[in-house]
Structure 1
């Protein structure tokens, strides 16, 4: 059973609040905080020796609930902490799609302009890698990454061999002027 006991200690720096956690007969110092908001210091288990203070049944029950409350608070913070990681992984996903596929289209399944861009490659007997943003939970984040990458928030966004072609009109124009066939290595 884990027992926590806060105490105040007078030191040269002023009064410090110390939190000790006991498991069995060995004490581990969990954190030391003071007037200057020191960062938590973690010491190895058993670094301090102490005997746990006897607790009544009600106090023991409350102490058993504390770890559950802390765990729930940490879980509540997890999505916010992971948000930064998510945006990095979404950016990495976009870069991976663009540079790992011969043809990549960021699209929305219901968008007529996206359908027109996909039709262009179908007519060329090409199979693009298509990311349907409306069918993904991270679709809005991907669209924001595309805005940073190409300066456009609209779909479709077409890439051939890592080169940004543009939207639907740009893709049709690139087909008409031969640029698309050249990028794909196809003879006219």
Structure 2
């Protein structure tokens, strides 16, 4: 199973949607709340090429983007193979 990391904040609807999508795939993930930790937010932004919104999702160390990109991968049939790696 792939290693999934997701940077989130508690009040983010897109974060909750991304976690629901991953849960529907029985995919486990590590979640990092960046809402109250400036150092974690800076680390996320560095890894995500300057993107500062949440969620930011990484699969096996590769940045896939936010919920919109995750959902697009699912619709195109590309997410399941990534999760199975």
TM-score normalised by structure 2 residue count = 0.86
* Counterpart for residue 104 of structure 1: 5
Q: How much has 1:165 moved relative to structure 2?
A: 0.8
Structure 1 residue 143 corresponds to structure 2 residue 46: no
* Counterpart for residue 156 of structure 1: 55
Q: Which has the higher strand share?
A: 1
State which of 31, 40, 46 in structure 2 corresponds to 1:130.
Answer: 31
Which blocks of at least 5 consecutive residues in structure 2 are unaligned? none
C-alpha separation in 2, matches of 1:126 and 1:148: 25
- Higher RCO, 1 or 2 (CA under 8 Å, sep at least 6)? 2
C-alpha separation in 2, matches of 1:183 and 1:130: 18
TM-score normalised by structure 1 residue count = 0.41
Which blocks of at least 5 consecutive residues in structure 1 are unaligned? 1-100
Q: Secondary structure at the match of 2:23?
A: helix
Q: Root-mean-square deviation (CA), in Å?
A: 1.7
C-alpha separation in 2, matches of 1:132 and 1:146: 10
Q: How much has 1:121 moved relative to structure 2?
A: 0.5
Kindly report structure 1 stretches of 4+ aligned residues shifted beyond 4 Å.
none
Structure 1 residue 113 corresponds to structure 2 residue 14: yes
Q: How much has 1:106 moved relative to structure 2?
A: 0.5
Q: Is the 8 A contact 2:27 2:83 kept in 1?
A: no
